[in-house]
Chains A and B, each alone.
Chain A
Amino acid sequence: MRYGQDAIRLAGWGALRPASRMKAGMTKPEVAVPDPTRMAVLSEADDRTLVDAFRSGEREAFDVIVVRHRRGVYQICYRFVSNHEDASDLAQDVFVRAFKGLANFKGDASLATWLYRVAVNACLNRVGTKKPRSAPLEAAADVDTRTLSPLDEVLRGERAERVRRAIDQLPAKQRATLMLRIYQDCSHQEIAAAMGSTVGAVKANFFHALGNLRRLLKSS
């Protein structure tokens, strides 16, 4: 992939600090003090430029990637495991996997989609091996309820909790599809890329997820 190389050169990034100019694959795990100016430039760079910079040996580019995508990745993980502790562990694992695998990122999809794919795979593996701990109704804590009456607030909270528990019972792939579509606002194409599936299968999964959700809510 040559994209971004010209941009790096044009932006004057050829004059990087020696540690950052170490050849790819030869970079030593050393603790470097981030150059604030360089970090400011990286913070403004688009994802693809960051990926190129990282693959050229700039470790700091990955720090920016983490800052930019940690919330989305954490949210996916939280939706799967329903508690903060496991979600933060899982999100950290996702970024470690991403660090190791970014060399294989082809750039066909966006970096966010690729990270979501890593996250969904990590979550599916986790769900397959560990039953999620159900958290108390902390999820609704940040909802703006100023316009609701106290009774409405209670009813809304109860409803949200029932829905959350029903979502937890969905088959993993349906749950992943539902989350990526509704919470991450991913398009069907992006979900297909993230799940290694087809757009048709994604739409079918989404439809069946809603159908199963309705059945679960009726029975609860």
Chain B
Amino acid sequence: MTNHLRPEEFVEALDGALAPDPQAHLVACGECRQELEHLRSLVGDVRDVEAPEPSPLFWDHFSARVKQATLAEPVPAAAAWWRQWLGLAGLPRLLRPIGAVATGAVALALMFALRPVTPVPSSTSAEPVPVSVPMLEAVADDGSWGLVVGLASGLEWTDVHEVAEPASGTADAMIDEMTAAQREAFVRLLQKEMGDL
């Protein structure tokens, strides 16, 4: 017999889960049977090494220690489905507003790009202005968007909190620059997100 059991087959034999072919070999091969007995004996030796059982008092003390150690920690929440879907789940909590603003901005851009274009009645006789390149394509081609995605998916707060903390008033300035329609859509998005928190 030259096709002795392979390591994983010995392990399966120890578990009593050997496939029929290697099992047939085992029955016929004294060498493999001897090896299996050695392994079985070793498993028994390892099993005999007992770990001490701490006293019941220790367990109460242990639970109290864990509770004390976690007391200052907020209960971490499972990421909401929309946050997971948008890739915001991995962002540190303080960076999430930035991600949310970026997501809102993209959503607005998409909204305007995909809105139905209706010709504006004109009092002049000028030719209608042809629709330019859709904004969607412009967003897709925008290299800075890739940068935003990279930032939102790979950063750890500990790495960037020194430099990435938003300056005071930045969000206000962004909102001031929005048109009325953009602002209305943005408020709806924020209300939806706040509702999930």
Contacts and interface: CB of A to CB of B under 8 A. Distances in A.
A25 B7 CA distance: 48
Contacts of B75: 24-25, 27, 54-55, 57-59, 62
Given A63-B63, A66-B66, A167 B49 contact: yes
Q: Is the interface of A mostly helix, strand, loop or mixed?
A: helix
Contact of B50 (A59, A140, A204): A140
Q: Is the interface of B mostly helix, strand, loop or mixed?
A: helix
B50 A29 contact: no
B175 interface: no
Contact of A103 (B7, B39, B72, B78): B78
A213 B67 contact: no
A70 B62 contact: yes
Contacts of B47: 182-183
Contact of A207 (B11, B52, B59): B11
Interface residue tally on B, bucketed by range:
35 or more
Contacts of A141: 50, 52
Interface in B20-61: 38-39, 42-43, 45-54, 58-59
A101 B76 contact: yes
A200 B12 CA distance: 11
A78 B7 contact: no
Contact of A29 (B7, B71, B79): B71
B117 to A, nearest CB: 40
Interface of B: 7-8, 10-12, 38-39, 42-43, 45-54, 58-59, 62-63, 65-67, 69-79, 93, 197
Given A23-B77, A99-B76, A178-B46, 11 more contacts: A58-B75, A66-B63, A70-B62, A70-B63, A74-B62, A99-B66, A101-B76, A139-B49, A203-B11, A207-B7, A214-B42
6 contacts: A28-B74, A29-B72, A31-B71, A95-B66, A99-B70, A163-B49
